Amino acid sequence: METYMKNKAQENEGYFGIYGGQYISEELKAEFDSIYSQFLKLKNDEKFQEELKDLFEHFSCRPTPVYFAKNLSKEYDCEIYLKREDLNHTGAHKINHSLGEALLAKKIGKKKVIAETGAGQHGVAIATAAALLGLECDIYMGETDIQKALPNVNRMKILGANVISVHSGQMTLKEAVDAAFEAYQNEYKTALYTIGSVVGPHPFPTIVEYFQSVIGKEAREQFITMTGGLPDCVIACVGGGSNAIGMFDGFIEDKGVKLYGVEPLGKGEKIGENAASLTYGREGILHGFKCLLLQNPDNTVADAYSVASGLDYPGVGPKHCYLKDTGRVEYKTINDNEAIEAFYKLSRTEGIIPALESSHAVAYAIKIAGENRGKKLLINLSGRGDKDIDFVLKHYPKKA
Ligand SMILES: *Cc1c(COP(=O)(O)O)cnc(C)c1O
C-alpha cells in the first residue's frame, strides 16, 4: 500500500494524478505543512501507535469482525461477506479517523477541534473523540440539517460540543464546510480542523486515509483466515470516500481483486438529482482541493442529493478521482429505490439494519451477484441504520 501510494499517486506530494493539492492561502499552507510533518513523525512514533491501537481496541471495539452473510449468500448463489464497521462505537467507520485526528490534535498541542457535519454522523464521532481526549469541540452544521437530524444534534450537545448553526445558502453540508473553514482560519494556532472524509486540501485526504486504512488491513487478514484466500470483489459506498479508500487500501496491490466504489444516483442522472461526483462530475476546485465535482452548466457548484445524507457531497476525495483514471477501481451507481430495497433485504435476511449509505454497497453486490455465481464478494458495511429507521418507515414503509 505504501509503495503504491508513493510511486504512483504521490510523486508530487499532496497530488493524486492531477487531483488534490492545496488551493488555500499561503498562511494556511505553512500551518498545513507543519501539521503534515508532525503527523509523519507521529506515524512512526511507537507511543502514538500504541495509544491509537488502545483506543481502537478498547474504546471502539476493533477489530470489527468480517461476517459471512449465509442467508443472503444462499439467496443470490454466491458468497457474501460483510466487514462490520457498523459495530464500531457510535455506529460507523467515522470514529476511526475521528479518534486519529483528535489524538493528533492533542499531540501537536491544540486545545480545540473544529469540524463540519452534514447529517451529524461525523459531528457525533468527533464530539465523542473530543470528550474522551479532553478537547474543546466546535461543530458547524447547516440549519436545514439541524432540523433534520435533531437526535444527533442532541448527542453532540450531551457530549459537550458547541453546535453552531449555519444559515447561508442551502444551509446544508457545503455551507457548513465553508463556515467551519472560515472559523478555522481565525483559530488555527490553537485548533485543528478535523475534516470528516478524505477530502479538503493536502494533507487531510492523506491523514484521514491513514486512519481509515485499518479497515482494509484487518479485512484482508480476516478474510484470508476465514476462507484461505482473497475475495473476488470488494465493494464500498463512496460519499467523500473515506470508508471506501480505507477498505481498498487493503486490497489495492492484489491485482486479482476487483474493487468497486458505489456512488449515489439519488433520483436520477440529471445534475441536482444525485451525488455521483465520479460519474457525472467535471474537474473543479472546492474547499481547497481539486477533484471531480458536480457542477452546473455555468460551472457553479451543483446541489448534491441522495436519500443517504452521508453521501450527498458534490465533490469526492482526490485519490478516488485518480483511481478512476487509472482504472484500478470501477465506480458504479445505485439509486435511492435500489438502496432502500437493499436496506430492507439485509435487515430481513440477516437481521442487520444497515445505514442507508452502506445500503448502496449492499445493493450493488446484489446487482452483480448474478454474474458472479459462486464467487466471494466482500462488502464494507460502513455503518448501522438506527439513525435512518424513522425516515425509512415514514417515507418507504414496507409490510412484513
Ligand atoms: C458518512 C458516512 C459515509 C460516507 O462517507 P465516506 O467518507 O464516503 O465513507 C458512508 N457510510 C456511513 C455509515 C457514513 O456515516
Taking the C-alpha atoms of residue 103 and residue 132, their distance in angstroms, rounded to an integer, is: 10
Closest residue by Cα to atom 10, ligand 1, is 357
The model's pLDDT over 132-141, given as tens digits with 9 standing for 90+, comes to: 999 999 999 9
Closest residue by Cα to atom 1, ligand 1, is 310
Catalytic residues: 94, 116, 382
Most ligand 1 atoms within 8 A of CB, residue of 128, 245, 263, 357 to mutate: 357
Whether the per-residue pLDDT at 11 is higher than 90: the answer is no
User: Got the DSSP string for 70-94?
Assistant: HHHHHHHTSEEEEEEGGGSTTSBTH
Whether the per-residue pLDDT at 224 is higher than 90: the answer is yes
53 or 170, greater pLDDT:
53
Whether the per-residue pLDDT at 8 is higher than 70: the answer is no
Atom number in ligand 1 closest to CA 243? 9
Reading the block at residue 379, the C-alpha cell is: 462488502
Reading the block at residue 339, the C-alpha cell is: 438502496
Report CA(79)–ligand 1 centroid distance (Å). Answer: 24
Count Cα atoms within 13 angstroms, Cβ side, for 133. Answer: 28
Q: Which residues contact 385 (CB under 8 A, 6 or more apart)?
A: 86, 343, 347, 353, 354, 355, 356, 358, 359, 392
Mean pLDDT of 113-129: 96
Whether the per-residue pLDDT at 74 is higher than 50: the answer is yes
Task: Please check whether residue 304 is in contact with residue 313, taking contact to mean a CB–CB distance below 8 angstroms.
Answer: yes
Closest residue by Cα to atom 4, ligand 1, is 239
Reading the block at residue 380, the C-alpha cell is: 464494507
Give residue 13's pLDDT: 85
Give residue 105's pLDDT: 98
Whether the per-residue pLDDT at 314 is higher than 90: the answer is yes
Q: Is the CB of 100 under 6 A from ligand 1?
A: no
Q: Is the CB of 205 under 6 A from ligand 1?
A: no
Element of type H or E holding 244 = helix 242-248
Classify residue 287 by its DSSP letter.
T
Q: Is the CB of 357 under 6 A from ligand 1?
A: yes
Report CA(238)–ligand 1 centroid distance (Å). Answer: 7
Give residue 5's pLDDT: 44
Whether the per-residue pLDDT at 127 is higher than 90: the answer is yes
Q: How far apart are the first and last CA of the chain?
A: 45
Taking the C-alpha atoms of residue 153 and residue 156, their distance in angstroms, rounded to an integer, is: 5
Q: Is the CB of 121 under 6 A from ligand 1?
A: yes
Task: Please check whether residue 266 is in contact with residue 273, taking contact to mean a CB–CB distance below 8 angstroms.
Answer: yes
Mean pLDDT of 316-320: 98
The model's pLDDT over 244-279, given as tens digits with 9 standing for 90+, comes to: 999 999 999 999 999 999 999 999 999 999 999 999
Give residue 206's pLDDT: 98
Give residue 393's pLDDT: 97
Q: What is the pTM of this model?
A: 0.96
Mean pLDDT of the chain: 95
Mean pLDDT of 350-361: 98
Mean pLDDT of 7-27: 82
Reading the block at residue 219, the C-alpha cell is: 479485512
Q: Is the CB of 237 under 6 A from ligand 1?
A: yes
Mean pLDDT of 118-131: 96
The number of angstroms, rounded, from the C-alpha of 271 to the middle of its chain's C-alpha atoms is: 22
Residue 342 pLDDT class (50, 70, 90 cuts): very high
Residue 280 pLDDT class (50, 70, 90 cuts): very high
Report CA(276)–ligand 1 centroid distance (Å). Answer: 14
Give residue 1's pLDDT: 39
- The Cα-based distances of 353 to 226, 357, 364, 386 in angstroms read 24, 12, 17, 7
